[in-house]
Amino acid sequence: MLAKYKVIVVGSLGAGKSLIIDKLVNSNEQFRNEILNVSYKSHVVDNVELEYWDLDGQEHVQILSRFNYKHAKACMIVADINAPNLFENVHHWFKCVTEYTQNRQDIPIILILNKIDLCTEAEVSLVKIRKFCKLDRIIKVSAEQEIGLPAIEKELMELISCVSESESTQVSEISSSLDIAKVYDGSSRRRKFGWF
């Protein structure tokens, strides 16, 4: 049975989210979650199924957005590298992601800077982004020219794998703590009631 991981994809209109997903998945097959009114596409990589949830247009429906982030294993923020308000766009989406995931363990966040084939990027924006946004990776791509796209799934798999290992370790530690608590609890009961 395939492990299935949900990847949230956010970004401003025209940044190229849908095109990037289409190029990664390379399939017209699309699924829909009717309850949350959102579509997603799946792609199998190294015996792992990645579900890309494109949240285009969801930013104004905060309650739905919170539900959409549930069970996500990673998030991609897609931005147009040539946008004059690049920093503001990225910072806005970074704040949304961190706000919507505040009640659970942090998820890896990758920034995808699209349209490098038309690049006139301001390095000042990138310096500010690195300073004010705690991003796990920054990847520059061109969805149109299919430049840099393989790096996205490579980085996603690496980050998700690290998070999964960390969660397994935490579960193991919690189980060990519970076992110790049971042993202690049992011994204290024996002392209280004079059991051997």
pLDDT score of 1 more than 80: no
The whole-model pTM stands at: 0.79
Residue-level pLDDT at 104: 55
Distance CA 156, CA 48 (A): 11
Q: What tokens were used for 21?
A: 């997903």
The percent helix, strand, coil of the chain (3-state, each to 5) is 45, 25, 30
Task: State the DSSP string of 96-112.
Answer: HHHHHTTTS----EEEE
Partners of 8 in the β-ladder: 53, 75
Distance CA 34, CA 188 (A): 53
Residue-level pLDDT at 190: 38
Q: Match 């095109």 to its residue by tokens.
A: 19
Q: Which domains does the chain have, with CATH numbers?
A: 3-193 (3.40.50.300)
Q: Report, as an integer, the average pLDDT of 70-98.
A: 91
Task: State the DSSP string of 4-61.
Answer: EEEEEEEE-TTS-HHHHHHHHH-----EEETTTTEEEEEEEETTEEEEEEE-TT-TT-
Residues counted in the chain: 196
Average model confidence (pLDDT) across the chain: 78
Distance CA 112, CA 138 (A): 6
Show the beta-strand stretches assigned E in 61-121: 72-80, 109-114
Distance CA 127, CA 193 (A): 66
Spatial strand order of the sheet with 3-11 comes to: 31-33, 38-45, 48-54, 3-11, 72-80, 109-114, 137-140
Percent of the chain exceeding pLDDT 70 equals: 72
Whether residue 19 contacts residue 144, with contact meaning beta carbons closer than 8 Å, is answered with yes
Q: Report, as an integer, the average pLDDT of 143-164.
A: 91
| 132 membership: H or E segment, kind and range | helix 123-132
pLDDT score of 122 more than 60: yes
Partners of 52 in the β-ladder: 7, 41
pLDDT score of 41 more than 70: yes
Q: Report, as an integer, the average pLDDT of 51-80.
A: 78
